[in-house]
């Protein structure tokens, strides 16, 4: 077996394995993954920190959505941290009167604004929230009961995108649903790797134990989750607590966001590579190494595809139909298996959210185009890393 063939086999097997882990997790937890946690009468004070930089368009609806949730109003401590806005954000936030505490500070980035809020937080639980995100009625009610387990330090909700007619938004909407489903499955092996910026809830004391947000991080929401994992605390994930957020509406913006996620993500995993140890359980043995393996596999696959295109024998154009037929074999079989089961996985992801309906054409275009998006942002990622481009928002 030559080296190229060996790589082909290795990539095929790796993709199968990763897919099968998810399929088995689903089969194992198919009865419980949609169940809410056990009900509780416990209603702690919750501080919601909203860092806002020039968010005059969103801040009003954002705060309104918090007060529209089913939870005692007097136990909601809503704080807007105006991070050096030059627009009307401060005034709008102030218009809520005493219900909302508004702070103004010099612009210092999201992490710093969150830490500023943490200093002032009164609640036993604290939620971080983006100004362009909106809670639903049940969000808080669904999240709080997870904290009755004393080991749980953070819970992530289901961050979704509202249905629209924009192709780009629907594309991301499908992706978000798939990510939520995967994250829920990963929570069963204590491997939730992120507490998403749009909305996440924490036990306030965790910040005393593990430290506050990293103020110089591209993706402080990944970093804090890795840090919580490194202290052996649990992060749970809820399928039922919905939060809506606004995704990038232009391809350029989306690409920039993804490159940031990818660069920030990989750098953080690299900083936390010490987690690759059996004492960190499934997270250390499977999930953290998986990130490096998947990135490596992605680039190997890209190289293999390029190689096979550039080394197509010259005579193939005379027999392309026959060559196509003869090309069908092991890799077609594995490719078909992966495609069918990942499509099924996608279908399950969407079906798991009873209130979310996705048009078939958006589902199909997601299956077709997701790969190209990954190629785009991964190539930019590697280009920027190689050029040692400045690492910033």
Partner 1 sequence: MERKVSFHLYIGAFLISLIVFLTGVFVGTLLDTANVQRISGDITHVSERLYSVQLLILMEANSSSFCPVYLSELSSIDQDVENFGYQLTYLEEEKGIQDDELKKQYFVLEAQSYLLSKKVQGLCGDDSVLLIHFYSNKNCSDCRQQGEEILKARDALPDTNVKLFSFDGDMGSPIAEALMNQYRIREYPSIVINGKKYSGYRTSEQIQKLMSEAE
Residue among 329, 355, 357, 386 that touches partner 1 (CB under 8 A): 329
Number of residues in contact with partner 1 under rule CB under 8 A: 44
Rule CB under 8 A: say whether 334 interacts with partner 1: yes
CA-wise closest residue to 167 among 356, 358, 350: 358
Q: Among 8, 82, 142, 190, which residue interacts with partner 1 (rule: CB under 8 A)?
A: 190
309 or 326: whose CB is closer to partner 1? 326
The packing angle between helices 3-29 and 330-352, to 10°, is 30
Nearest distance from residue 206's CB to partner 1, in Å?
13
Dist. CA 352–CA 178, nearest whole Å:
10
Closest CA to 222 of 179, 252, 258, 266: 266
Judged by CB under 8 A, which of 6, 251, 333, 371 binds partner 1?
Answer: 333
- Indicate the helix (H) or strand (E) that contains 232: none
**Does 294 participate in binding partner 1 (rule CB under 8 A)?**
no
Residue 322 as a binder of partner 1 (CB under 8 A): the answer is yes
Selection from 141, 155, 1 nearest residue 69 by Cα: 141
Residue 172 Cα to chain centre, angstroms: 11
325 binds partner 1 (CB under 8 A): yes
CA distance 110 to 50: 10
Listed in sequence order, the DSSP H helices in the chain are 3-29, 59-67, 89-94, 110-120, 139-143, 167-187, 206-210, 220-230, 251-271, 281-282, 288-310, 320-327, 330-352, 360-386
Site track 123-152 with partner 1 (rule: CB under 8 A), x = hit: ----------------------------x-
232 lies in the site for partner 1, by CB under 8 A: yes
Judged by CB under 8 A, which stretch of 17-25, 84-92, 358-366, 379-387 contacts partner 1? 17-25
Nearer to partner 1, 58 or 236 (CB): 236
Among 124, 138, 282, 385, binds partner 1 (CB under 8 A): 282
Q: Applying CB under 8 A, which residues contact partner 1?
A: 5, 12-13, 16-17, 20-21, 23-25, 28, 151, 189-190, 232-234, 278-286, 313-316, 318-319, 322-323, 325-331, 333-334, 337
């Amino acid at each position: 077996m030559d080296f190229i063939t060996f790589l082909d086999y290795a990539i095929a097997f790796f993709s199968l394995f990763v897919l099968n882990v998810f399929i088995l997790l689903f089969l194992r937890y198919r009865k419980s993954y949609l169940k809410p946690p056990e009900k509780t009468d416990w209603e702690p004070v919750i501080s919601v920190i909203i860092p806002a930089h020039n968010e005059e368009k969103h801040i009003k609806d954002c705060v309104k959505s918090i007060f529209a949730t089913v939870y005692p109003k007097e136990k909601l401590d809503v704080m807007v941290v105006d991070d050096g806005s030059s627009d009307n954000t401060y005034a709008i936030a102030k218009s809520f009167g005493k219900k909302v505490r508004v702070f103004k500070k010099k612009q210092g980035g999201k992490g710093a604004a969150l830490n500023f809020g943490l200093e002032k937080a009164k609640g036993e639980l604290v939620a971080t929230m983006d100004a362009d995100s909106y809670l639903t009625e049940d969000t808080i009610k669904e999240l709080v009961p997870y904290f009755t387990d004393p080991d749980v330090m953070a819970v992530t909700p289901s961050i979704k995108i509202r249905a629209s007619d924009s192709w780009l938004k629907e594309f991301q909407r499908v992706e978000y649903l798939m990510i939520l489903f995967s994250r829920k499955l990963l929570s069963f092996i204590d491997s939730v790797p992120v507490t998403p910026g749009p909305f996440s809830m924490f036990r306030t004391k965790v910040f005393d134990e593990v430290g506050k947000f990293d103020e110089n991080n591209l993706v402080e929401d990944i970093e804090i989750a890795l840090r919580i994992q490194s202290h052996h605390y649990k992060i749970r994930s809820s399928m039922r607590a919905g939060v809506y957020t606004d995704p990038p509406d232009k391809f350029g913006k989306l690409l920039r966001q993804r490159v940031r996620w990818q660069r920030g993500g990989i750098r953080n995993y690299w900083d936390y590579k010490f987690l690759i140890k059996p004492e960190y359980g499934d997270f250390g043995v499977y999930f953290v190494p998986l990130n490096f393996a998947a990135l490596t596999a992605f680039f190997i696959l890209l190289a293999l595809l390029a190689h096979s295109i550039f080394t197509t024998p010259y005579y193939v154009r005379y027999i392309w139909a026959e060559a196509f037929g003869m090309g069908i074999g092991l890799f077609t079989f594995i490719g078909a298996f992966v495609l069918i089961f990942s499509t099924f996985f996608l279908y399950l992801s969407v079906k798991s959210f009873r209130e979310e309906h996705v048009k078939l054409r958006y589902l199909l275009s997601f299956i077709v185009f997701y790969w190209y998006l990954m190629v785009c942002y991964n190539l930019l990622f590697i280009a920027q890393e190689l050029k040692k481009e400045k690492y910033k928002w």
